[in-house]
Amino acid sequence: MTTAEDGTVYLVGSGPGDPGLLTVKARDLLERADVVLHDRLPGPEILDLIPDGNAEDVGKRAHSDKRTSQAEINERLVAYANAGKSVVRLKGGDPFVFGRGGEEAEYLAEHGVTFEVVPGVTSPVAAPGVAGIPVTHRDHASSVTFVTGHEDPTKPESSVDWAALAEAGGTIVVLMGVTRLPDYTAALRDAGMDPETPVALVERGTRPNQRVATGTLETIVAARDEVGIEPPAVTVIGGVAGVREELEAFLR
Ligand SMILES: C[S@@+](CC[C@H](N)C(=O)[O-])C[C@H]1O[C@@H](n2cnc3c(N)ncnc32)[C@H](O)[C@@H]1O
């Protein structure tokens, strides 16, 4: 695919997990790139598309919490590109939604490396969608906010203003928010959000082992524990989460 002067990096989204939701462009690149640096999120069926010897796992290492550092990933991307290779940096969902794709793009630009962004189907839209939850709906929400649930909402340095989100209305979709669910649901209630607000958790959305837990701002923690929801999952907060009830019986 490459010539010596090529050296392009493709920041590619692999979608939410169902291999059928990989874009045609992403599939072509995986099959043809010289090297693919990937995380664990993409899943085995997608990783199997990469020819033997071309894949480099830079996600969490087996039997260890260690990841390849972001600095090392950045350096490898630049080194491969400078060696004239076509490089795919593969990430779950969309590379620019909580995927550090923006930081990698900045690093590449700083180092004079040509790159292309190949968007992917993003989980905060797709996972609710397949569970019968439209993230916008004329009767319920005319805006949607994607937010990280990774931070402790009680810490002053938290970059998420939960009170402002409670005030704003609209749908809130929390990524990386399984563990801290009790903290941010309490923060939203404390900020005046109706405790009866519908909430849904969708784990491994679009995968065969997808699971869903539903409740309200007050009951969702108990529902999470009852179903045993684990990451990766998104939390959908707002009237749209209640739409699933009407659609569920007809969902495949
Ligand atoms: C580091 S973020 C990456 C998001 C990704 N770039 C995207 O656009 O979907 C990882 C989080 O995405 C969410 N996620 C990814 N795939 C998911 C799926 N299939 N179902 C539910 N949540 C998912 C979870 O909240 C997970 O903790």
Range of the domain at 156: 123-250
Same domain assignment for residues 197 and 218: yes
Same domain assignment for residues 130 and 245: yes
Can you name the residues that pair with 173 across neighbouring β-strands? Answer: 146, 236
Which of 103, 118, 133 terminates a domain? The answer is: 118
Angle between helices 181-190 and 220-227 (to 10 degrees): 160
Distance CA 211, CA 223 (A): 12
Same domain assignment for residues 73 and 150: no
Mutation pick for ligand 1 pocket among 123, 125, 179, 207 (CB with most ligand atoms within 8 Å): 123
Residue numbers of the chain with a pLDDT score lower than 50: 2, 4
Nearest CA to 91 among 184, 172, 14?
14
Q: What tens digit of pLDDT does each residue of 182-215 get?
A: 999 999 999 999 999 999 999 999 999 999 999 9
Q: Which two tokens stand for residue 31?
A: 């099959």
Mutation pick for ligand 1 pocket among 234, 235, 236, 237 (CB with most ligand atoms within 8 Å): 234
pLDDT at 2: 47
Which of 118, 138, 172 terminates a domain? The answer is: 118
How many separate domains does the chain show? 2
Same domain assignment for residues 92 and 129: no
Same domain assignment for residues 128 and 110: no
The overall pTM is greater than 0.85: yes
Same domain assignment for residues 177 and 232: yes
pLDDT at 5: 52
pLDDT at 65: 60
Same domain assignment for residues 32 and 77: yes
Tokens 């020819």 correspond to 51
pLDDT at 252: 86
| Contacts of 4-8 spanning 24+ positions with Cβ under 8 A | 4/84, 5/84, 6/84, 6/85, 6/86, 7/80, 7/81, 7/82, 7/83, 7/84, 7/85, 7/86, 7/113, 7/114, 8/81, 8/86, 8/87, 8/113, 8/114, 8/115, 8/116
Q: List the residue whose alpha carbon is closest to atom 25 of ligand 1.
A: 175
Same domain assignment for residues 26 and 91: yes
Q: CATH no. for residue 28?
A: 3.40.1010.10
Q: CATH no. for residue 161?
A: 3.30.950.10
Residue 123 Cα: closest atom of ligand 1: 9
Distance CA 58, CA 72 (A): 9
